[in-house]
Structures are given as C-alpha cells and as structure tokens.
Amino acid sequence: MNMYVSNLSFQTTEEDLSNVFSQFGTVNSVKIINDRETGRSRGFGFVEMDVIGEAREAMAGLNQKELLGRAMNVDIAKERKENGFSKSRLW
C-alpha cells in the first residue's frame, strides 16, 4: 500500500520516515519529494508497505503524530493523473 505523508518538517529525511514507519512493519520504499529548482524538501512524500494490515496500523498510529516539530498527515496515496486521466487509463 502506498501512503501519502504530508506536513513534514523540511528537515525530515527519508531515513527518519523509514524509521518511524518501520515500527509498524516492513517498509519497502520511502520518497520525500524535493523542489526541482532548489532541491529543498516540499514537505511531503510517500511510504510504501506491502502488508496492508501493517500499513493501516501505521496510518492510524502516525496520522497527526509529531515528527521533528510538525504533526504529520498520513493517508492512502491517490493515483497520479496526467492530463486529467489516470496513468492506468492511458494507452
């Protein structure tokens, strides 16, 4: 399950997120999104966990939990769209 994590401190690293989420199970990947021009964190990212039960526990346990002075928002990531269409619908 891919989760969207927002309201992150700009100092939060991918390792920080991995450590926090790994308390709930195995983390497959973590990606913090950076600004293309400045390289600075945009304050959000994605965490992927394969086991849905572990991911749901992580969402429940970490939503609004403070990390580096900011209360994270954790939710299921929505599918990315391009030109108004889901990527899966483009052919």
Q: Which residues pair with 46 in a beta bridge?
A: 4, 31
Instruction: Name the CATH code of domain 2-78 (choices 1.20.120.1730, 3.90.1150.10, 3.30.70.330, 3.40.228.10).
Output: 3.30.70.330
Burial label, 77 (beta-carbon count in 10 A; 0-12, 13-18, 19+): middle
Distance CA 54, CA 25 (A): 6
Q: How confident is the model at residue 79 (pLDDT cuts 50, 70, 90)?
A: confident
The 10 Å Cβ neighbour count of residue 75 is 11
Domain ranges across the chain: 2-78
Name every residue whose Cβ is closer than 8 Å to that of residue 29 and which is 6 or more positions away in sequence.
46, 47, 48
Rounded to whole angstroms, what are the CA distances from 8 to 11, 38, 83? 8, 17, 28
Instruction: Give pLDDT tens digits for 9-68.
Output: 999 999 999 999 999 999 999 999 999 999 999 999 999 999 999 999 999 999 999 999
pLDDT for 89 equals 43
